[in-house]
């Protein structure tokens, strides 16, 4: 009781001690029963206090921002660079999307750049950290984003996905995300293809997380202006297939 | 309707994203509002929420079922995260007064939280306390002031601070127990 350390209890509880003082106090706790009891009592007596907080509305889209960055952190730790986790549920207030189909992907990028505020939604961009490196204070960049294709399995099934075009500073990127895909084993990977009259060109590779979700961004500059008619995703034996070897798991007409 | 927290927490240990999302949905409002009560700032509050769910997901904190309710453990993490952030941001200019920020309407307050009875009981009990006891609780718990600051603000000797805090909290608990919700109910 006479120990000077006992006087630090309040400051300890309120995080007011320096790291060193805190360590010292924790040492003290180990040997001082009365401090342990007082601390336990404080915790018990304060248990209901958070309910005194007046309910406050978070800024809209917080859930999406928080969960995206939490899951993103996870993927980083696992060391997948170009695999971005997809949230199971999209935000409820999804912006009204333009359902207009463009003839080909070359004009798509341009149209997207012009289609200001079609999908002007920062939260949406946040789901693809790979595309948000320009982390705009300038909201303009966010506006140059367009969600367009819904991917499905031609044979039916749970798997689904979306393909979008993002234009950042004149650079167009194809963003593909998919979920509920079958698990991969060994070296297997999912491969995105753009097809023109049956001729495939590679447009990104990704692997899925435990939930069967995955995503990839691919610079459109590397794709010559083709008259793409189909986007398809196949499951490949390895990440390097030059032509599709596996079955199409998701596809959409462009 | 929703799974017990403890089960959701166990699923978290297996990296179940759905479990985290369920916990998020259940506690978003409370965690955010509590953070706001402490930081008085929207931006900081969102950072707290982010911190807390990051900790949950990456297992930086470990919940032990034998030590009490999941919600109490979670709220302790929230409070500590808020304290950490407030200290870090202390020196940077930050708009720290948003008293008239968006607050939802009074009648539905308890409806916003899962533990409605607990919320009601603690609110009603707090109103019974005299102004100076309410102030002690606010300075100590929500403002997380230092021992010395509390003494200064209350204008009392350092040596009496601990006793006053304890008295105020005990009084609050007695009131709550009379309303059928003691602090240690499950
Ligand atoms: Zn002691």
CB A236 within 8 Å of CB A188: yes
Give pTM, 2 decimals.
0.57
pLDDT value for A120 = 36
Our CA-based measurement puts residue A93 at a distance from the nearest CA of chain B, in whole angstroms, of: 16
Within 13 Å and on the Cβ side, how many CA atoms surround B137?
27
Of B21, B102, B173, the CB nearest to A45: B173
- Report the pLDDT averaged over residues A34-54: 95
pLDDT value for A6 = 95
Q: Is the CB of B45 less than 8 angstroms away from the CB of A54?
A: no
Q: What is the pLDDT of residues A105-121, one digit of tens each?
A: 433 443 343 333 333 33
Mean pLDDT lowest among A17-21, A190-194, B47-51, B108-112: B108-112
Q: What is the pLDDT of residues B29-78, one digit of tens each?
A: 999 999 999 999 999 999 999 999 999 998 877 888 887 889 999 999 99
For residue A52, the chain B residues in CB contact (below 8 A) are 37, 122-123, 126, 142
Give the C-alpha separation, A229 to A181, whole Å: 23
Q: Rounded mean pLDDT of chain B?
A: 85
Of A14, A41, A52, the CB nearest to B146: A14
Within 13 Å and on the Cβ side, how many CA atoms surround A68?
21
Q: Confidence class of residue A87 from pLDDT cuts 50, 70 and 90?
A: very low
Position with higher pLDDT, B91 vs A29: A29
Percent above pLDDT 70 for chain A: 65
CA-based torsion, A12, A13, A18, A19: positive or negative = positive
Q: Is the CB of B29 less than 8 angstroms away from the CB of A55?
A: yes
Of B15, B122, B162, the CB nearest to A51: B122
Q: Confidence class of residue A196 from pLDDT cuts 50, 70 and 90?
A: confident
pLDDT value for A73 = 73
Q: How far is the CA of A28 from the centre of ligand 1 (A)?
A: 6
Nearest in space to A125 (alpha carbons), one of A81, A95, A170, A100: A95
pLDDT value for A169 = 53
Q: Is the CB of B50 less than 8 angstroms away from the CB of A65?
A: yes
Residue A104, pLDDT above cutoff 80: no
Complex ipTM value:
0.88
Residue B101, pLDDT above cutoff 80: no
CB A109 within 8 Å of CB A172: yes
Identify the residue whose tokens are 């506690």.
B27
- Give the CATH class of A82-254: mainly beta
* Extents of the domains making up chain A: 1-46, 82-254
pLDDT value for A204 = 82
> Given CB atoms, is A37 within the 8 Å cutoff of chain B?
no
Domains delineated in chain B? 1-95 (1.10.1740.10), 105-186 (1.10.10.10)
Give the C-alpha separation, A237 to A247, whole Å: 11
For residue A51, the chain B residues in CB contact (below 8 A) are 30, 113, 115, 118-119, 122-123
Mean pLDDT lowest among A152-161, B71-80, B100-109, B111-120: B100-109
Q: How far is the CA of B60 from the centre of ligand 1 (A)?
A: 27
For residue B126, the chain A residues in CB contact (below 8 A) are 52
For residue A50, the chain B residues in CB contact (below 8 A) are 30, 34, 37, 75, 78-79
Q: Confidence class of residue A143 from pLDDT cuts 50, 70 and 90?
A: very low
- Top residue of B73, B83, B137, B147 to mutate, by most chain A CBs within 10 Å, is B147
CB B83 within 8 Å of CB A15: yes
Copy the structure tokens of residue A19.
Answer: 């790291």
- Report the pLDDT averaged over residues A221-234: 76
Q: Confidence class of residue B98 from pLDDT cuts 50, 70 and 90?
A: very low
pLDDT value for A218 = 73
A192-196, B113-117, B168-172, range with greatest mean pLDDT: B168-172
Position with higher pLDDT, B122 vs A207: B122
By CB atoms closer than 10 A (0-12, 13-18, 19+), residue A50 is buried
Our CA-based measurement puts residue A115 at a distance from the nearest CA of chain B, in whole angstroms, of: 30
Q: Rounded mean pLDDT of chain A?
A: 71
Our CA-based measurement puts residue A198 at a distance from the nearest CA of chain B, in whole angstroms, of: 38
Residue A151, pLDDT above cutoff 60: yes
Could you give the maximum distance between any two Cα atoms of chain B, in Å?
51
Residue A140, pLDDT above cutoff 50: no
For residue B104, the chain A residues in CB contact (below 8 A) are 54-57
């Amino acid at each position: 009781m006479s120990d000077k350390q006992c006087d630090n209890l309040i400051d300890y509880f309120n995080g007011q001690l320096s790291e060193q003082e805190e360590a010292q106090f924790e040492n003290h706790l180990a040997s001082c029963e009365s401090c342990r009891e007082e601390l336990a009592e404080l915790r018990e007596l304060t248990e209901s206090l958070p309910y005194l907080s007046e309910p406050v509305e978070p800024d809209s889209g917080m859930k999406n921002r928080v969960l995206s960055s939490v899951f993103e952190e996870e993927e980083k730790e696992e060391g997948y660079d170009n695999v971005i986790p997809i949230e199971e549920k999209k935000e409820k207030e999804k912006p009204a999307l333009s359902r207009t189909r463009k003839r080909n992907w070359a004009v798509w990028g341009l149209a997207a750049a012009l289609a200001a505020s079609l999908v002007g939604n920062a939260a949406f961009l946040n789901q693809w950290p790979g595309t948000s490196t320009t982390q705009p204070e300038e909201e303009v960049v966010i506006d140059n984003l367009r969600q367009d294709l819904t991917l499905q399995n031609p044979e039916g099934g749970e798997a689904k996905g979306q393909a979008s075009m993002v234009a950042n500073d004149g650079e167009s990127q194809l963003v593909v995300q998919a979920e509920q895909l079958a698990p991969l084993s060994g070296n297997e990977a999912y491969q995105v293809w753009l097809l023109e009259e049956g001729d495939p060109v590679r447009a990104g590779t990704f692997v899925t997380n435990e939930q069967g979700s995955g995503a990839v961004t691919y610079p459109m500059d590397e794709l010559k202006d083709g008259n793409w008619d189909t986007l398809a995703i196949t499951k490949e034996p390895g990440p390097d297939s030059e032509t599709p070897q596996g079955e199409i798991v998701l596809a959409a007409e462009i | 309707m929703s799974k017990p927290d403890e089960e959701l927490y166990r699923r978290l240990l297996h990296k179940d994203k759905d479990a985290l999302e369920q916990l998020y949905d259940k506690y978003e409002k409370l965690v955010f509002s509590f953070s706001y009560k402490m930081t008085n700032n929207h931006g900081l509050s969102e950072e707290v929420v982010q911190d807390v769910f990051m900790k949950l997901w990456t297992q930086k904190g470990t919940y032990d079922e034998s030590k009490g309710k999941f919600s109490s453990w979670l709220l302790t993490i929230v409070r500590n995260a808020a304290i950490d952030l407030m200290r870090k941001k202390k020196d940077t200019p930050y708009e720290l007064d948003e008293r008239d920020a968006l607050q939802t309407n009074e009648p539905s307050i308890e409806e916003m939280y899962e533990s409605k009875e607990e919320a009601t009981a603690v609110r009603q009990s707090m109103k019974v306390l005299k102004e100076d006891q309410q102030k002690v609780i606010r300075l100590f718990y929500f403002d997380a002031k230092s021992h010395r600051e509390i003494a200064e603000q209350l204008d009392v000797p350092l040596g009496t601070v601990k006793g006053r805090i304890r008295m105020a909290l005990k009084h609050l608990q007695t009131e709550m127990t009379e309303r059928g919700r003691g602090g240690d109910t499950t």
